[in-house]
Amino acid sequence: MIIVMKAHYTPQQLEGVVNAVKAHGLTPHITYGVETAIVAAVGEFHIASLDPFEVMDGVDSVKRISQPFKLGSRQVHPENSVFPIDGFTIGGDEIAIIAGPCSVESKSQILETAHAVREAGANALRGGVFKPRTSPYAFQGLGEEGLEYLAEAREQTGMPIVVEIMSQTQLELMLKYVDVFQVGARNMQNFNLLRALGETRKTILLKRGLSATIEELLMSAEYILAGGNKQVILCERGIRTFETATRNTTDINAIPVLKNLTHLPVILDPSHSTGHADYVAAIARAGIAAGADGLIVEVHPEPTKAVSDGKQSLKPERFAEMVKQVKAIAEIMGRRVAPVKKPVTTGW
């Protein structure tokens, strides 16, 4: 249920509404507008009539939230959510570019990649240290050693780091290092993990599951939002279809559909959605043209030697070319790629 307060409502009237919501066993989430405020009452809903809320002092209108996802819906929060990530914003006019290798492999590999992607125009560095691999015998990631290398890359380049978390058991360790937690496609419905991340106040990059519907993605985001963490970025990363010419099928539709349904920022991963370096730039351009708020792209200094996802990884020169094209598309869309940070050290 959404309770919209009248313009010039008083703090006491808002408090009265909040208390009434709590008295029904529901949790109030307040969104403040310029003159008004919206109280979203979420939880197990058994209220037969909205009348008692409609007649409360300071209340303008009361509606049921028609979507199964509540806090993520535009009904609750009509404006885009825009939030800062160390040096840039996401969800507003700026387009954010996150780039880096699939896996952190060595100190020199991540440092070289970090400097190269920053110079090419990236705003944040990605790199996996706990890898969800199909085979238990494939490289599983460097763990804490990889986090230390990423922290050094952040120190040298000033870029925040985006790292995948696979289990809540990794949370305590990762909290010390990570700026943005990535939840991978395979963990989109790891509800214990989502709840644990909802308790943090770190930005979460939530990827769509391999066979998940848009509604299921939004329901997963809801687990994080319900914990009070409002900084959730959604990521389209391709879905499984009957097509085998590409690793996955980029659901470009998902971008405008999500932007319509939710206020949360939406980004595209053209690397996993195509699975091939030759298609990444084209799909990155398409994503920005479709209204994505950013991109997450795999880049490796020597893709043929990458321990994971080499086939879909761009060399830094190709990534730089992609960024130029994306900047041009962004401009047509009345937006701009977020400016890169100045390097913190020049010692590299």
Footprint on this chain of Mn ion (rule: CB under 5 A): 102, 309
- Nearest residue (CB) to ligand PEP, 20 versus 254: 254
Sole residue written with tokens 């395979």: 186
- In eight-state DSSP terms, residue 314 is B
Q: How far is the CB of 310 from ligand PEP (least distance, A)?
A: 12
CA atoms within 13 A on the CB side of 306: 25
Candidate list 25, 52, 132, 228; residue touching ligand PEP; CB under 6 A: 132
**Measuring CA to CA, which residue among 52, 64, 15, 20 is closest to residue 37?**
15
Q: How far is the CB of 298 from Mn ion (least distance, A)?
A: 6
Candidate list 127, 128, 265, 303; residue touching ligand PEP; CB under 6 A: 128
Q: Contact between 92 and ligand PEP (CB under 6 A)?
A: no
User: For residue 19, what are its two tokens?
Assistant: 């208390």
Q: Contact between 237 and ligand PEP (CB under 6 A)?
A: yes
3-class secondary structure, 190: coil
Q: Contact between 207 and ligand PEP (CB under 6 A)?
A: yes
User: For residue 129, what are its two tokens?
Assistant: 């240290």
Q: How far is the CB of 191 from ligand PEP (least distance, A)?
A: 17
- Nearest residue (CB) to ligand PEP, 20 versus 299: 299
- Nearest residue (CB) to ligand PEP, 186 versus 202: 186
CA pair distance 153, 174, nearest whole angstrom: 16
Candidate list 90, 102, 150, 234; residue touching ligand PEP; CB under 6 A: 102
CA atoms within 13 A on the CB side of 321: 10
User: For residue 22, what are its two tokens?
Assistant: 């709590």
Amino acid at 69: F
Residues that bind ligand PEP (CB under 6 A): 102, 128, 132, 184-186, 207, 237, 269, 272
